[in-house]
Structure 1
Amino acid sequence: MGYRTESRNRVKDRSIVIRNVYVMMAYAFRDIHQNGQDRFASEDFDTIHDLFAEILIRGIGSQVKRGLHRDYRRRSEELATVRGRIDLTRTSAALSMVRGRVVCEFDEYELDTLHNRILKCVMILLIRKGSVSRERQDALRRLLPYFDSVEQVAPVSIRWSQLSYSRSSASYRMLMGTCELVIRGLLPTEEPGANSLLSWVTDEAMSSLYERFLLEYFRLHHPELSPAAAKVRWDIDGEHASGTDQLPAMYTDITLRRGGRTVIIDAKYYSKTMQVSQYGKSSIHSANIYQILAYTKNADVSRNGSVSGILLYARTDAGLQPDLNVTIQGNRIAARTLDLKLPWDMLRAQLEELTTWLD
């Protein structure tokens, strides 16, 4: 059966959405202060890039005061005096000794690190191509001189997997998360070779942020529930099993446990939360239901109904939203929505309600 999906209306009140994006980022990148309260609640942001710019302005400003991240980099130069280790092979090949010089290899403690290259890259992007107010553009320009010794890199050359954090760079987590969201918003325009920053972040980037936010929320506020992105093992009857290594791995977005009960939460961030058949019938996305059911049934190794599953969609403006609560072969399965347009205290109440599934 062929499916089409419901169209999504544009969000009318973006101010609450944008402030909640900040709160989500604060949780996702472990930068919570004042018990998770939105420190930017009194600010007005016309665009998501205004929010990102403000995070960078405040974050980099604070980082400049405490000292920008530095790291040792290996250099090799021809010098008049010895520094570090002499590279005899290169000194001889370059006839440096004839000129009274030697080629030396040494480590230099400098600002030109990957973290700072990314910050410089994104500040320039927001100034040149982002939907950022003139006041915030000027604030970003005032920060750029601190990065004069930092190499400028192209956004496409950044490898996010290479980022690592030590004690000295831990405060960069949210700054790097902000930069990643900005750069993931870069998409080609219809003009060959041109690029533009989207006025909103891609669904892919928001989906990743949404998942991380939910997990970190429960880790911070409910450590007693052992929140984790846990692996679910296939409940295999081993008597006639073969080729089990060909089964795909199953990893949950969030698994919560209390006593003998478990709830598996699968986060879904889609522009369109429901599928609609060619005959006009709306339903939960088939693949989503099959996925949460597979997780739940295989995790319930005792087969006593102690494991439940929740599909938690980010709410859209569509008329019909996921609202499912059923028991399938002894296991409770639900589809719910989380309204990211609500004020934070109401949004948090929706999250807290999910913990009652373990009562």
Structure 2
Amino acid sequence: MSTYGAIPLRNIWLLFLYAADMVQLRDRFDHDVEAARDLPELLGRLLTTVVDQRLRRNLSRGYRVRSATLSRVRGRIDLLETETRQLMDRGQIACSFDEHTMDTPRNRLVRAALDRLAGRITNADVAHRCRTASGDFGRLGVSATRPSRAEMATDQIGRNETADRFMVALATMVFDALIPSQAAGAVAGALPVDQEHLVRRLFERAVGNALRLQLAGEGWTVKQGRRIQWPCDQRTDGMASILPGMQTDIELNHIALGRRIVIDTKFTRIFTKSDYREAMLKSGYLYQMYAYLRTQELADDRASLCSEGILLHPQVGDAVDEAMAVQGHLMRAKTIDLMAIPSAFEAQLGGIIHTRNG
């Protein structure tokens, strides 16, 4: 079984689907997932498969503004240009108008990802498929320049454009994975296993989206990345500029039950060592969770007075699920086995809302 670090690629794939909010596609690419030997090859197989499907159905188009001198009006007339160049005397008029184009930010991102993968994949057949797909995009007028974040923000993908959302999510993951580039002097091939930032982001988003799906219809709401404020009674003028912000990873709320659960995902080992103890929880994480819970207490908000906190880590070694009550707040340290089969992984997430009593 192929792995990324110690995590099976099929589980990286599952994290990606949950993070991209596209878990409905989990069974559609089993062959590609099982055949891939490393993460770049997996991305190459999946992206070329999806691109081939999109090319058979035609790529989505966009609009771009074009200016031209024409013999008849099209779009908006540029009066200043027309008068300055005295175009009317020659039976012409300056116009600016929208025209269809396939050279959209989303299509450029996909082509740039295909080019990046083609030089990083060790499997010659998959690398060839990436180059072929990139060439097909080029023949349709899609440039090879990777779009900026600002350009991508202007190319909003509709909720019903599932195929494009999936294609763009895969292309984005290619660059998020920071697959080494030749220009940087790196060796082509698989990702270094010590680069954990990609899986860390996938882990956080996947847990949040998986909980939202699993708890749908049970009265729970799921928020991700909510910023919370320090309840300062007073502060000096300079404190605001140096005070660190607070932002929860995941927050679950159930109004009828009066429960609030704050989850902080940590893609690190759950234990550290000291001079006297072989395994102990990391104090900084506990202090952080304590601050999240106690600083948000409000007398007229019942859930805030007994809110719960969970430090959620990937499992390394034995499973951990321990809890303590501190000043009315249940604080829990729990691990999830990212190497488990997908059904077991999902079952672990479903058990998060169940209180762990001592």
TM class by shorter chain equals 0.7 to 0.9
User: In structure 2, what is the equivalent of residue 175 of structure 1?
Assistant: 167
Q: Does 1:208 align with 2:197?
A: no
CA contact (8 A) 1:120 1:152 kept: yes
Identity in percent: 26
Q: Does 1:312 align with 2:303?
A: no
Structure-2 change in CA distance of 1:46 and 1:250 (3 Å): same
Q: Does 1:337 align with 2:335?
A: yes
User: In structure 1, what is the equivalent of residue 46 of structure 2?
Assistant: 55
Matched ranges for 1:1-359 at <5 A: 17-33=8-24, 37-42=26-31, 43-94=34-85, 96-97=87-88, 100-127=91-118, 129-144=119-134, 145-148=136-139, 149-154=141-146, 157-159=148-150, 164-167=156-159, 169-186=161-178, 194=185, 199-200=190-191, 202-223=195-216, 224=218, 225-229=220-224, 231=226, 233=228, 236=231, 238=233, 248-258=244-254, 259-270=257-268, 272-277=269-274, 282-301=279-298, 302=302, 306-316=306-316, 324-357=322-355
Structure-2 change in CA distance of 1:268 and 1:64 (3 Å): same
How many corresponding residue pairs?
340
Q: Distance in 2 between matches of 1:281 and 1:235?
A: 35
Q: Deviations over 1:69-90 (max 9, x none)?
A: 2111111123344322232322
Q: Distance in 2 between matches of 1:206 and 1:304?
A: 31
Letter in 2 for 1:263: I
Q: State the SS of the aligned residue for 1:200.
A: coil
Letter in 1 for 2:224: A
Q: Distance in 1 between matches of 2:110 and 2:348?
A: 35
Q: Could you tell me how far 1:351 is from its partner in structure 2?
A: 1.1
Q: Which segment is superposed worse, 275-284 or 68-77?
A: 275-284
Structure-2 change in CA distance of 1:13 and 1:146 (3 Å): closer
Q: Distance in 2 between matches of 1:208 and 1:125?
A: 21
List alignment gaps of at least 5 residues for structure 1.
1-10
Higher relative contact order structure (alpha carbons within 8 Å, sequence separation ≥ 6):
1
Q: Distance in 2 between matches of 1:12 and 1:29?
A: 20
Q: State the SS of the aligned residue for 2:65.
A: strand
Q: Which segment is superposed worse, 261-270 or 323-332?
A: 323-332
Q: Distance in 2 between matches of 1:143 and 1:261?
A: 50
Q: Could you tell me how far 1:104 is from its partner in structure 2?
A: 1.7
Q: State the SS of the aligned residue for 1:357.
A: coil
Structure-2 change in CA distance of 1:94 and 1:137 (3 Å): farther
Using the size of structure 1 for normalisation, the TM-score is 0.79
Letter in 1 for 2:246: M
Using the size of structure 2 for normalisation, the TM-score is 0.79
Q: State the SS of the aligned residue for 1:215.
A: helix
Q: Could you tell me how far 1:48 is from its partner in structure 2?
A: 0.5
Q: Distance in 2 between matches of 1:18 and 1:64?
A: 27
CA contact (8 A) 1:91 1:97 kept: yes
Q: Distance in 1 between matches of 2:63 and 2:4?
A: 47
Q: Distance in 2 between matches of 1:65 and 1:142?
A: 14
Structure-2 change in CA distance of 1:232 and 1:106 (3 Å): closer
Q: Distance in 1 between matches of 2:4 and 2:37?
A: 10
CA contact (8 A) 1:263 1:357 kept: no
Q: Could you tell me how far 1:111 is from its partner in structure 2?
A: 0.9
Q: Which segment is superposed worse, 41-50 or 320-329?
A: 320-329
Structure-2 change in CA distance of 1:187 and 1:66 (3 Å): closer
Structure-2 change in CA distance of 1:347 and 1:151 (3 Å): same
Q: State the SS of the aligned residue for 2:13.
A: helix
Structure-2 change in CA distance of 1:280 and 1:358 (3 Å): closer
Q: Distance in 2 between matches of 1:56 and 1:303?
A: 44
Q: Distance in 2 between matches of 1:118 and 1:13?
A: 24
List alignment gaps of at least 5 residues for structure 2.
none
Q: Distance in 1 between matches of 2:183 and 2:275?
A: 37
Q: State the SS of the aligned residue for 1:53.
A: helix
Structure-2 change in CA distance of 1:233 and 1:134 (3 Å): closer
Structure-2 change in CA distance of 1:164 and 1:194 (3 Å): farther
Q: Could you tell me how far 1:280 is from its partner in structure 2?
A: 7.3
Q: Could you tell me how far 1:344 is from its partner in structure 2?
A: 0.4
Q: Deviations over 1:34-78 (max 9, x none)?
A: 7xx443344221011121112212322332344322111111123
CA contact (8 A) 2:75 2:96 kept: yes
Q: Distance in 2 between matches of 1:324 and 1:124?
A: 47
Q: State the SS of the aligned residue for 1:333.
A: strand
